[in-house]
């Protein structure tokens, strides 16, 4: 597994890797910006411009405070969700990462059928929903088990990332059903490699390239298992 990761890191300068990184980040930042605007608009619409309180009279700044607080709250929430969201949307383009790895290291392989865009989009939103819900649920566990919060984070996201990336890589060659069968057979190893990918998620900036390194590492991992 360390060799799989090392070979993936050795290709980090590939132009297609950078293209996928910028596409995923661009979509993520754009969506988060729209999320801030939508949150502020909903709060501004729901909270009245003025409020009349007993013995105090009319107060006209409640709306401004509520809108500002809502944006701060959205920014705080997004600090936990940005990486899962970036991982999900970068996943829309990870086929290109796998193609780049296979062209350099496995040139003898036949071409694969490109995954239809709508199917990729559906898988992306499905994975995004699972990631967000799982990390929100894990946030509750962090509160009660603070000393174990990093371990919970690594275990949970390692499982999710490993499952998603292996399935993505394997189904390109085997189809969905056989990829799922292979994933179940090697579930422990997949979780372990996913956990190694999840550790850098806690490191700022480095966490942004995790989806790309993860897809490349799992491409090597898959071909090593397939060869065995």
Mean pLDDT of all residues in 177-194: 90
Summarize pLDDT for 108-122 with one digit per residue, the tens: 888 777 666 676 667
The reported pLDDT for the residue numbered 85 is 63
Phi-psi region of 59 (alpha: psi -120 to 50; beta: other; left: phi over 0): beta
Top pLDDT among 69 and 50 is at: 69
In which residue are the tokens 């990462």 written? 97
Please spell the DSSP secondary structure of 185-196, one letter per residue. HTHHHHHHHHHH
User: Given a cut of 70, is residue 212 above it in pLDDT?
Assistant: yes
């Amino acid at each position: 597994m360390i060799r799989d990761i090392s070979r993936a890191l050795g290709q980090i300068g590939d132009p297609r890797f950078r293209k996928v990184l910028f596409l995923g980040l661009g979509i993520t930042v754009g969506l988060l910006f729209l999320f801030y605007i939508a949150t502020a608009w909903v709060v501004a619409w729901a909270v009245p411009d003025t409020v009349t309180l007993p013995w105090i009279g009319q107060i006209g700044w409640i709306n401004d405070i509520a809108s500002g607080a809502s944006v701060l709250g959205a920014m705080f929430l997004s600090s936990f969700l940005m990486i899962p969201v970036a991982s999900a949307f970068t996943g829309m383009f990870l086929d290109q990462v796998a193609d780049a790895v296979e062209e350099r290291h496995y040139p003898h392989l036949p071409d694969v059928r490109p995954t239809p865009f709508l199917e990729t989009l559906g898988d992306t939103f499905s994975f995004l929903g699972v990631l967000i819900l799982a990390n929100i649920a894990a946030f509750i566990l962090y509160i009660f088990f603070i000393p174990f919060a990093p371990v919970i984070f690594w275990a949970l996201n390692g499982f999710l990332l490993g499952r998603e990336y292996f399935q993505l890589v394997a189904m390109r060659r085997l189809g969905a059903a056989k990829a799922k069968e292979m994933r179940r057979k090697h579930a422990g190893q997949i979780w372990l490699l996913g956990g190694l990918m999840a550790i850098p998620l806690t490191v700022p900036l480095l966490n942004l390239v995790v989806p790309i390194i993860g897809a490349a590492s799992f491409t090597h991992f898959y071909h090593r298992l397939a060869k065995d």
